[in-house]
Chain A
Amino acid sequence: MTSTVKVQITVNGQPTSADVEPRLLLAHYVRDVVGIKATNIGCDTTSCGACTVLLDGESVKSCTVLAVQADQQEVTTMEGLSPSPDELHPVAAAFRQEHGLQCGFCTPGMVMATVSLLAENPHPTEREVRENLEGNLCRCTGYHNIVRAVLAAAEAQGGDS
């Protein structure tokens, strides 16, 4: 048994803290320690993007980040996006509007990757959207509606060009 390490991670604006084993993955920290379950674990090998969360505002695959690496940083999950339980974040709303999901397993990761993309590039072209969602797999939609949703979200968010 290895020693535990104390981490302090702000999750969705709330300070959280725990003594964790260094090998604990950030995905397991948010799901099992904090207890919020929107972040899915799909492949567990950095391929599918289902586990994507924001770390200090940037998309990362939380199955390939240790909780100890996120110490003193801010994590945002899908739960942290919506201003209130009955109000959808513009990106989530665009996914619903454009039918950007079917089973929904990939959706939290897709939405978090989209939020990160639009923060870096508020007006992506369709090609840039496709390139930037390369790390996120969807087994259901065939991607077209996801791309449409991202472009609609970009339009809805306005932003400076």
Chain B
Amino acid sequence: MIPVGFEYARPDSVDAALALLAEHGEDAVVLAGGHSLLPVMKLRLAAPELVIDIGKLAELQYVRVEGEEIAIGAGTRHRTLEASEVLAAECPLLAAVAHSVGDPQVRHRGTLGGSLAHADPASDLPAGVLALGGTVVLRSPRGERRVPVTEFYTGVFSTVKEPDELVVEVRVPRTGTAGWAYEKFTRRASTGPSSRWPWSTAGSGSSTWGRPRCGPGRPRPRSRAAPRSRRPRRSPTGTPSPPRTSRGPRSTVATSPGCSPGGR
């Protein structure tokens, strides 16, 4: 399968990428890791005239502590998140969620910004960032704005991002050793055999942040899925463990030490 022909630009800075986006509007599309966009272009479900490749922009690739938050460049790859020492110490939930994406080849290419912008309801990282109550930083020639991730998604595959905006950064709270859990509910119906597109749910609990969340298009778990009787419980180690938020086959379970979702 071969995409429809397109023009290709590889700007050498975020500003240059923004200028190109502003000039070409909806005829242009941004390419980060390409692991959502290229399959769609190969199926000819998308046929942009111009592809603006931001995948090599080092200025979008970082994970660093800033005050009470961790700032992550939008171009940071899933593999970098899963192996990040900063995340291991400061926000292990996000590293575990990144580890649960696809397979190593996918994680070597896909980016955090691409995953959030794509807004697939079955994707992992949006669910993780939603559970953490993170912030999406958007930039356009008109300036920069910070959108709480709870207000970023307007539905399935749709966000408040304007066509001339780039996701440049994602900010998540430093959760340290607070308890957390992440579960994935696999549904294999429509995709290739090895691509574990999940129904994903992240739960995180502490006194100051975090609540059970599903992915884009379903910002709050249904009341049935997160009944009040299943509020975070204390685990034996004193860390709160999150409620079960849905039912179905669980293919991946990752938890912090002491958290045991569903009583296992």
Most B CB contacts (10 A, CB to CB) among A25, A66, A113 go to A66
- Is B1 a contact partner of A44 (Cβ separation < 8 A)? yes
Number of interface residues of B (CB under 8 A): 34
Q: Which of B190-231 contact A (CB under 8 A)?
A: 191-196
Partner of A22, one of B7, B35, B104: B7
- Is A46 a contact partner of B5 (Cβ separation < 8 A)? no
Q: Hey, which chain A residues are within 8 Å of B104, CB to CB?
A: 59, 113, 116-117, 120, 132, 134-135
Q: Hey, which chain B residues are within 8 Å of A69, CB to CB?
A: 31, 34, 53, 55
Q: Which of B177-195 contact A (CB under 8 A)?
A: 191-195
Which of B17-25, B105-113, B148-156, B164-172 binds A?
B105-113
Shortest 6 CB-CB contacts between residues of A and residues of B: A135-B103, A47-B192, A22-B8, A2-B5, A58-B108, A134-B103
Give the distance to chain A from B34, nearest Cβ to Cβ, in Å. 6
Most A CB contacts (10 A, CB to CB) among B53, B79, B83, B109 go to B109
Q: Hey, which chain B residues are within 8 Å of A65, CB to CB?
A: 34, 38, 109
- Is A135 a contact partner of B109 (Cβ separation < 8 A)? no
- Is B38 a contact partner of A45 (Cβ separation < 8 A)? no
Q: Hey, which chain B residues are within 8 Å of A3, CB to CB?
A: 7
Q: Mark A132-143, 1 if CB is under 8 A from B, else 0.
A: 101111000000
| Interface membership of A43, Cβ < 8 A | yes
Nearest B residue to A51, CB-CB: B105
Q: Hey, which chain B residues are within 8 Å of A137, CB to CB?
A: 193-194
- Is B102 a contact partner of A60 (Cβ separation < 8 A)? no
- Is B53 a contact partner of A60 (Cβ separation < 8 A)? no
Q: Hey, which chain B residues are within 8 Å of A2, CB to CB?
A: 5-8
The distance in angstroms between the C-alpha atoms of A132 and B31, with both chains bound, is 26
| Interface membership of A91, Cβ < 8 A | no
Q: Hey, which chain B residues are within 8 Å of A44, CB to CB?
A: 1, 42
Please judge, given known A-B contacts A60-B109, A64-B109, whether A47 and B10 are in contact too, CB under 8 Å: no
Please judge, given known A-B contacts A58-B79, A135-B103, A137-B194, whether A1 and B5 are in contact too, CB under 8 Å: yes
Residues of chain A whose beta carbon lies under 8 Å from any beta carbon of chain B:
1-3, 5, 21-23, 25, 43-49, 52, 55, 58-61, 64-66, 68-69, 71, 113, 116-117, 120, 132, 134-137
Most A CB contacts (10 A, CB to CB) among B3, B35, B194 go to B194
Please judge, given known A-B contacts A43-B192, A60-B108, A64-B35, whether A21 and B5 are in contact too, CB under 8 Å: yes
New contact pairs (4) apart from A2-B8, A44-B1, A47-B193, CB-CB < 8 Å:
A23-B4, A23-B41, A59-B104, A65-B34
Please judge, given known A-B contacts A64-B109, A69-B34, whether A46 and B6 are in contact too, CB under 8 Å: no
Please judge, given known A-B contacts A66-B38, A69-B55, whether A45 and B105 are in contact too, CB under 8 Å: no
The distance in angstroms between the C-alpha atoms of A126 and B231, with both chains bound, is 37
Please judge, given known A-B contacts A44-B42, A46-B35, A46-B192, whether A68 and B10 are in contact too, CB under 8 Å: yes
Give the distance to chain B from A17, nearest Cβ to Cβ, in Å. 16
- Is A22 a contact partner of B6 (Cβ separation < 8 A)? yes
- Is B192 a contact partner of A48 (Cβ separation < 8 A)? yes
- Is B192 a contact partner of A64 (Cβ separation < 8 A)? no
Q: Mark B24-45, 1 if CB is under 8 A from A, else 0.
A: 0000000100110011011000
Q: What are 8 A-to-B residue pairs whose CB atoms are below 8 Å?
A: A2-B5, A2-B7, A5-B8, A22-B6, A44-B42, A58-B108, A59-B108, A69-B55
Please judge, given known A-B contacts A3-B7, A52-B105, A113-B105, whether A45 and B192 are in contact too, CB under 8 Å: yes
Give the distance to chain B from A147, nearest Cβ to Cβ, in Å. 15
| Interface membership of B51, Cβ < 8 A | yes
The distance in angstroms between the C-alpha atoms of A43 and B31, with both chains bound, is 22
Most A CB contacts (10 A, CB to CB) among B5, B8, B39, B105 go to B105
- Is A61 a contact partner of B105 (Cβ separation < 8 A)? yes
- Is A64 a contact partner of B38 (Cβ separation < 8 A)? yes
- Is B7 a contact partner of A49 (Cβ separation < 8 A)? no
The distance in angstroms between the C-alpha atoms of A116 and B102, with both chains bound, is 16
Most B CB contacts (10 A, CB to CB) among A59, A64, A132 go to A64
